[in-house]
Structure formats: structure tokens, C-alpha cells
Structure 1
């Protein structure tokens, strides 16, 4: 049955190899079951319900990716998107988490339509690489800002708006330890480095009395507090247009980049450079996002950590299915997830931000008409505390700079359209 479903021999792999690859991928990305509930709980959402939604959405995404697209690529609620959901849309713009979930659901449905009608290729190909790189790097800066703020390393300052916190405090020291420990373990190729660091810092919190022991395993909490709690009443306001597009674009570019990167490492790209069953993979991602929103979590996306499983020999969807099974098993570790303090996940956030910032090197700094809009996108995300605003300024800056530089013909129709929409949004308010 497994041979028929996944074509193991055709891909030069075995059941044992795929299982090991799935376990490796899960250990590498399992930190999300701790980080995502911790972040989304800051919107007022029930942390136990978000924990369940995170595990189930990840499992659904992995199963669809594995069984339908037959790719060794795992899925889970995306880093950056969950921070945007919490700190920009809810805490920053003042929308309720129910409205934010509705925006996530709408972005998922739009993603499905773009994949079904093959508009996705037109969008990705027409958005300049500099803007795509700027968006990814900007999210990295935004995550770094949130991580340092959550750890208390940077705090509000009446004179300079931002200042240095009490870096000798226990919270700051534990957060810093989590970050350096993560980097050291990753450098040593330790599997599950991020998760190990989070658990180690949490253990220190228990030892020093910051964290109360609640046990490790129990029956999963109820998902009822977040299940089907979407509020569409605020989605159709002008201010939410950029939010829905931000969810869509970030998910779209993140997924496309991850699919190409992981598939390339696995040797799954054809000689003509095309990715087989690409539309199926995109449908897996977008469907999982919509289902995740119904359950009560932010966008589900493909994880670049899947490369760890590919490096372990994973070549088919069986790897993704194994990851999905482990996410379902993780449902019984809710007491452990509930004990994780914010400073224990700060190090993980800062580590992810470092990875996302690496894309800055790919910007063509010799062409200011490309570099300046990318830089504006990066800078505005953390300074406005909003991924959506950063994307908006980036599109507008790109169109205007190209026009005034005599390179208006380099701007695609989709960029002109998005720049116009974002400009109208700013004018209308």
C-alpha cells in the first residue's frame, strides 16, 4: 500500500528511511507547538485551544502534502505570520482575534483560488525579487524586535521611545541563554536544537521558581474556545484589505520559496526547472491555512526545516505523513506546552529572525531603484510594528522610485495595482 501511495522505489527510498526522516523533521520544527500558543495567547485566545489547533492544523497540512502532493515537506502555523497576527493585527491595529482569524481564513480561500486558476505563477513572477527579499528580511527584523521586547532586553523609554532593559534580570539572562544555546546546538547539528533550548530554559525557570510544574502529559484540552469563532464583520473594512493581502503574500512567497528550496535539495525538480505536482503542494498549503483558521490558529505554511528530513533521506510524502502523526501524538503533551514561559521562546524567535535576515545578501545593492524599496520594506516593518504596513510602503516606494527614475516600464501591472490599492488605503484611512 505504501509503495502504491508514495512510489518509494521510484524515489530510491524505503519505509525505514522515510520514518527516520519524518522524525528528524518533526524534532527540528516541534518548537512551534510551544511558540505558537504562547504568541497567540497574547491576543486573549485560550492557550490550550490554540495548542490543539496548532497540532491539528499542522497534522492536516502534513497529511494533505504527503498523501495528495507526495512531497517530503511538513507544514505548521508559520513563524512571522503568527507574530503579525498577534502584535500587528490584534494588539497593534485593535482588531479582535476573531476578526483576525476571519482574515486568515479569507487569505487561505484566496490562496486556494489563485492555485486553482493558476494565477499564482503570474503573481510570483511579476513581483520583483527585491521586494520579496525585503519582505522576508523585514519579517526577520520584526521577529527580532518582538523577541527582544518579550525577553525584556529592550523596553519602552519616554525619551528615546526604545531603550535597554535590565539585562541582568533573570528573564533577560534566561532568554539570552536560550538564544546562544540554540545557535550552538544548531552549529553542532544537534537534532531538535530549538526545542531542546526551549525545554532547557523552561527547566531553569522551574528550578528558580518562575514556572510552576504542571506535569508533562494529559488528555488534550478543548478546542471549543477558538473553534469556528471567526468574525467576518470587520474583514471587509478598508483597513483590513492590506492585512488580508499581507497574510496572502507572505504565505504565498514563503511557501513558493520553501517548496523550491526543499524540492531542489531532495532532487525532485525536473530538468526543465519545473516542480512536478506544484499545484497540489500549493493547494495543500492553502487548504491547511483555511482549516487552521477554523480551528483557531494563524496561517499554516510549508516549513524550511523540512530540509533536515530530506538530508536524512526523506524523498516522498511518507515523510510528511510521519510528521503529521507526531503532531497528533503531541496533543497529549499540553501540560508541558502550558508551562513554557515567554522568555523561553524569545531565544527561538531571535534565532528564526537571524535565518530570515540572511536574504538581505541577495539584494542588488548596486541598483538603488531595487535596493531602496527593499530597505524601506525591511525598516518599516519593525518601526511601524506591522508587516502589512511594511509591505504597503515597499510596494508604493518601488512604483514611485521606478517611475521617477525613468524605469516605469520595469514595474509590472500587479505592482502598480497593489501600490494603488495601498495608497488608497492610506488616504481613506
Structure 2
């Protein structure tokens, strides 16, 4: 074994985890490509507050890179971090645009939340919460996340769309053709469905890297369609060119300065009730989104021990907490563990080396942003849909004959896609688990911490 491979083995314990450098590389690039959309989406969302879009892009890249490296070093897990979807929307549209606070004040709330997060991680509170959740709910969280990320994929591909009458509905090819938008939107739906079928065939044939190949295949089809006029980009409909744009020459490869957002933290309103409410909202969602993702992805990778505990969870939680704090200083909203990490796990990623590869690709994106920003949502959608299928398999571990276990599990599963939130799924599951078992006389199954969590979740719905 070479000295380099020996160092990698000592640091990440590849043989112990049944993996190789090649497998971890494939897992890393797959995870990165399924979450690369955050490089385009996060700056767009946060720029609505007045933040400089280019500066936010650089901050997003560096915060994602740092957080993912922290995960690799602190916990040796194949989980990637980036500014969280939902949390960035809350930051921009609720805290700043709706409530009227400055984005500097919102960053300070994220910073304080991160500090509290670090303290909670050091005191084992978050680890205790993770361990208190029954195994049935952990299986349900994994299945629920599967449905959730599948729904994200269906939305990204526009296979499923918003509908005023029925809330959501299947994309209408007939309406698309009649309105003349088929070559803008309809063709991408077709391409994403082809991508799902292509990936499924590769999986059945046990082709290594099948999810990654599915992404690349769908993207290449998109490029061919654009070159031949079958796909016509229309920025007004958020349908952009899938061909990398190097028209800016050498400048296209240079990252934008972070100066407009770096260190812009404002503690002026720190002692006000409004600040506390905003900070607590960030904290609450971040805690349970992270716990839900760790439960779901680690269950998929069979990383939980016989008692349903995740070894080295303190390091994973600490990585998330430190990344959130660092991200606020860099100039972006809450950094959290991404459910898209499941795509890399599905490719065989088992150690922090996967995370290191993801971090490397994020860093590379600073200088190759035209390439990575050209990866369309409809190309990564097949990966999310297929991984959703793989994670749904956890449902077989739920004891459906015991209604005190299966009904809370069921509520956990359906709440995640229907409420569009991992944390809401956990909330529904915990509250229903406690109430169902308490009211049916099976109180010995409920730990003290589960009672506390149920009360906290109920209070959240009443007061926040």
C-alpha cells in the first residue's frame, strides 16, 4: 500500500467500512451534482433581500465547502452540508421582506443560533434527542425523506406542478403544446422521465455510478436538444441554457468578492423579543431538519447500531453547528446537512472521504461556476426520484400490526412531503407517538425526553 493510500486508510478507515477510494469518489461527485443547484438557487433567494448575488454565491460555496470538510474531519461520515432550502426562504421572504428586518440582523440571528447549536452539541442534548426517538420513527423518517426528496425531484423536473384548483397536479403536455411552451418546459419533463428510466435500467444491470451516469445522460440530452432547437431556454420561466457560458472570458473563472456580505452581522436588536423569536425559529427548524436528515441517511446506509444510535453523532452535530456559525460570518443563511447526501450513500459512500470529495467539487465550483451552474434541475431530478425509491424501502422495517407504532410512523412519513418539511414530519411523529401510546395505556414505551419533545412541538404550533 502506498504512503498516500495508507494515510487515507488511517484517516477514513475505508476497509473497515467496506469501501474504496473509487467508490467514495463516485459517491462524492454524485452527491455534489444533486445539490449543485444550491449554487444557483441560494444567491437568487438571498439577493431578494438586497444582498449582492455574486458575493452570496462565493459565500455559499465556501460555507458548503467548510461545513462538508468539518463533517469529514469531525465525524468521518459521507454527509454534505450547504445553506438549507426552506431556511434560506424563511431568511429572505419572512424575516427580511415580510417582517421588515435587515438582512444583517437576520445573519446575526443565524450566527447566534449557531453558537447555541454548538453549546447544545457539547452538552449532549442533541445526541440525547436523537437517541430518544424510537426506532420505528427513525425508519419512518428515512421513508418520509425518500418521499420528500422524490417530490423535490418531481417539482424540479416539473412533472408535478402547482395548480390553483387541486393545489398540485401532473404536468399537462396538451396545455403546454397549446400555449406554445412545450419546447421550453414540456421537453424538459420528457427528458427527466427518460433520465429516470435510464437510471433504473443501469441500476438493474448493476452499473457502478448509475445515479451519476443518469444525471450526465439527462444533461447531455438537454444540451443536444438545445443545440437542435428542441429545447428553447426562457429565463422568464426560470428555464435557462444548459450549455456552459464562457462569454466573459477569463473573468468567468474568477470568484466574486465576498466583501459586500462578509462579516455583516448586526446585533442592534439582539435583546428584543422579535430577535429571540426569529433566532428560535431558525434554531428549531435547523435542529430537527439536521436530526431528520442524519436519521434518514444513516438508516439508509445501515450506520445505526442495534439500539438505533448513530456512532460519532456528536461530531456530525458539531460539524453542522460550526458550519452554521461560519456561514453567517461568510454571509449566507443557515448551513445544514443535505438530504441529497442520500444519493452518494446510494452509490456506496460510507466515510468522510466522500464528504471531502464533495467539498473539493464545491471549491472547484468557485472557478468553474459556468459549468456547474449549467447543470439543470431536470437533469438532477431523476437522481432524487430514484433515491426516494431507495429510501422508501425503510418502510419494511415498520411493524404495521402494532398500531401504536405504525400510525405515528405513517403520520411521520406523509407529513414530510405534504408539509414540505423534514422537521414537520418529526414533529407529527413525536406528538402522535406520545399521545397514542399514552392514551392506549402503553406509557412504559415513552421516555421522559419524548414527553418533553412532544410538549415543545405543541408549543411551537401555538406560539410560533
TM-score category of the 2 structures, normalised to the smaller one:
0.7 to 0.9
The number of residues matched between the two structures is 414
Q: Equivalences for 1:17-416 in 2 at 5 Å?
A: 20=22, 23-32=25-34, 34-41=36-43, 43-45=45-47, 49=55, 51-67=57-73, 71=76, 73=78, 75-77=80-82, 82-85=84-87, 98=103, 105=111, 108-167=114-173, 169-187=186-204, 188-190=207-209, 192-193=212-213, 195-197=215-217, 199-204=219-224, 206-207=226-227, 208-210=231-233, 211-212=240-241, 213-215=243-245, 218-224=253-259, 227-228=262-263, 236-237=276-277, 241=280, 244-255=283-294, 279-295=314-330, 296=332, 298-301=334-337, 303-304=341-342, 307=345, 321=356, 323-416=358-451
Shift in alpha-carbon separation, 1:126–1:394, aligned structure 2, 3 A: same
Offset of residue 334 of structure 1 = 0.6
Shift in alpha-carbon separation, 1:64–1:10, aligned structure 2, 3 A: closer
8 A Cα contact 1:255 1:282, kept in partner: no
Secondary structure, aligned partner of 1:176: helix
Secondary structure, aligned partner of 1:77: strand
- Cα deviation, 1:126-155, whole Å, max 9, x if unaligned, reads 111222333333333233333323433233
Which has the higher mean CA deviation after the structures are superposed, 222-231 or 161-170?
A: 222-231
Offset of residue 340 of structure 1 = 3.4
Offset of residue 251 of structure 1 = 1.3
Structure 1 unaligned blocks of 5 or more? none
Shift in alpha-carbon separation, 1:61–1:44, aligned structure 2, 3 A: closer
d(CA) in 2 for partners of 1:229, 1:139:
34
- Cα deviation, 1:154-180, whole Å, max 9, x if unaligned, reads 334444333222146223212322333
Offset of residue 297 of structure 1 = 5.2
Offset of residue 408 of structure 1 = 2.2
d(CA) in 1 for partners of 2:300, 2:142:
15
Offset of residue 31 of structure 1 = 0.7
d(CA) in 2 for partners of 1:12, 1:151:
35
Shift in alpha-carbon separation, 1:101–1:399, aligned structure 2, 3 A: farther
Shift in alpha-carbon separation, 1:12–1:229, aligned structure 2, 3 A: closer
Offset of residue 406 of structure 1 = 0.6
d(CA) in 2 for partners of 1:309, 1:146:
20
Shift in alpha-carbon separation, 1:181–1:125, aligned structure 2, 3 A: same
Offset of residue 410 of structure 1 = 1.6
d(CA) in 2 for partners of 1:201, 1:231:
47
d(CA) in 2 for partners of 1:75, 1:9:
18
d(CA) in 1 for partners of 2:440, 2:149:
33
d(CA) in 2 for partners of 1:194, 1:253:
27
8 A Cα contact 1:87 1:385, kept in partner: no
8 A Cα contact 1:198 1:344, kept in partner: yes
Offset of residue 117 of structure 1 = 2.1
Structure 2 unaligned blocks of 5 or more? 175-185, 234-239, 247-251
Task: Report the TM-score, using the length of structure 1 for normalisation.
Answer: 0.76
